[in-house]
Amino acid sequence: MKTIELSHGGGGVQMNRLIRDLFFHHFGNEILLRGEDAAVLAMAGPLAFTTDGFTVSPLRFPGGDIGKLAIAGTVNDLAMMGARPEYLACSFIIEEGFALDELAQIVRSMADELAVSGARIVCGDTKVVPRGAADGLFITTSGVGSVRCPGISAGAVQAGDAILVSRDVGRHGACILMARDGLQLGSDLKSDCATLWPLVEALLAEGIVPHALRDATRGGLSAVLNEWATGSQVGLALAEAAIPVSDPVRGLCELYGFEPFDLANEGTLILAVSAEQAPAAEAVLLRFNAQAACIGEAVADHPGKVVLTSPWGSRRYLELPAGELLPRIC
Give the footprint of a second copy on residues 288-317 (CB under 8 A).
none
Q: Is 202 in the site for a second copy (CB under 8 A)?
A: no
Torsion of Cα atoms, 49 then 53 then 58 then 64, to 10°: 10
Q: Is-contact 330 172, C-beta < 8 A? A: yes
Smallest gap, in angstroms, from Cβ of residue 319 to a second copy? 8
Q: Count CB atoms within 10 A of the CB of residue 120.
A: 18
Binding positions for a second copy, 152-181, rule CB under 8 A: 153-155
Cβ proximity to a second copy, 130 vs 160, nearer residue = 130
Smallest gap, in angstroms, from Cβ of residue 66 to a second copy? 12
88: phi then psi, degrees, rounded to nearest 5: -120, 150
Cβ proximity to a second copy, 280 vs 304, nearer residue = 304
Binding positions for a second copy, 32-71, rule CB under 8 A: 34-55, 57
Judged by CB under 8 A, which stretch of 6-14, 22-30, 203-211, 301-309 contacts a second copy?
A: 6-14
Q: Is 186 in the site for a second copy (CB under 8 A)?
A: no
CA end-to-end span of the chain:
28
Q: Is 299 helix (H, G, I), strand (E, B) or coil?
A: strand
Smallest gap, in angstroms, from Cβ of residue 72 to a second copy? 13
Smallest gap, in angstroms, from Cβ of residue 118 to a second copy? 17
CA distance 277 to 289: 18
Smallest gap, in angstroms, from Cβ of residue 313 to a second copy? 28
| Residue of the chain from 84, 171, 172, 214 that contacts a second copy (CB under 8 A) | 214
Q: What is the DSSP string of 225-265?
A: HHHHHHHHT-EEEEEGGGS---HHHHHHHHHHT--GGGS--
Q: Is 246 in the site for a second copy (CB under 8 A)?
A: no
| Residue of the chain from 109, 117, 142, 191 that contacts a second copy (CB under 8 A) | 142
Smallest gap, in angstroms, from Cβ of residue 283 to a second copy? 26
Between CA 266 and CA 241, with CA 287 as vertex, the angle to 5 degrees is 65
Q: Is 257 in the site for a second copy (CB under 8 A)?
A: no
| Residue of the chain from 111, 116, 147, 286 that contacts a second copy (CB under 8 A) | 147
Cβ proximity to a second copy, 218 vs 282, nearer residue = 218
C-alpha closest to that of 195 among 244, 265, 266, 142: 266
Q: Count interface residues toward a second copy (CB under 8 A).
A: 90
Binding positions for a second copy, 217-236, rule CB under 8 A: 217-220, 223, 227, 231
Cβ proximity to a second copy, 27 vs 92, nearer residue = 92
CA distance 145 to 140: 17
Smallest gap, in angstroms, from Cβ of residue 80 to a second copy? 6
Judged by CB under 8 A, which stretch of 19-27, 86-94, 180-188, 197-205 contacts a second copy?
A: 86-94
| Residue of the chain from 100, 129, 204, 239 that contacts a second copy (CB under 8 A) | 129
Q: Is 118 in the site for a second copy (CB under 8 A)?
A: no
Judged by CB under 8 A, which stretch of 105-113, 129-137, 180-188, 307-315 contacts a second copy?
A: 129-137
Q: Is-contact 65 109, C-beta < 8 A? A: yes
CA distance 274 to 303: 18
Cβ proximity to a second copy, 64 vs 220, nearer residue = 220
Residue 253 identity: C
Q: Is-contact 137 98, C-beta < 8 A? A: yes
Q: What is the DSSP string of 50-98?
A: EEEEE--SSSEETTEEHHHHHHHHHHHHHHTTTEEEEEEEEEEEEETT-
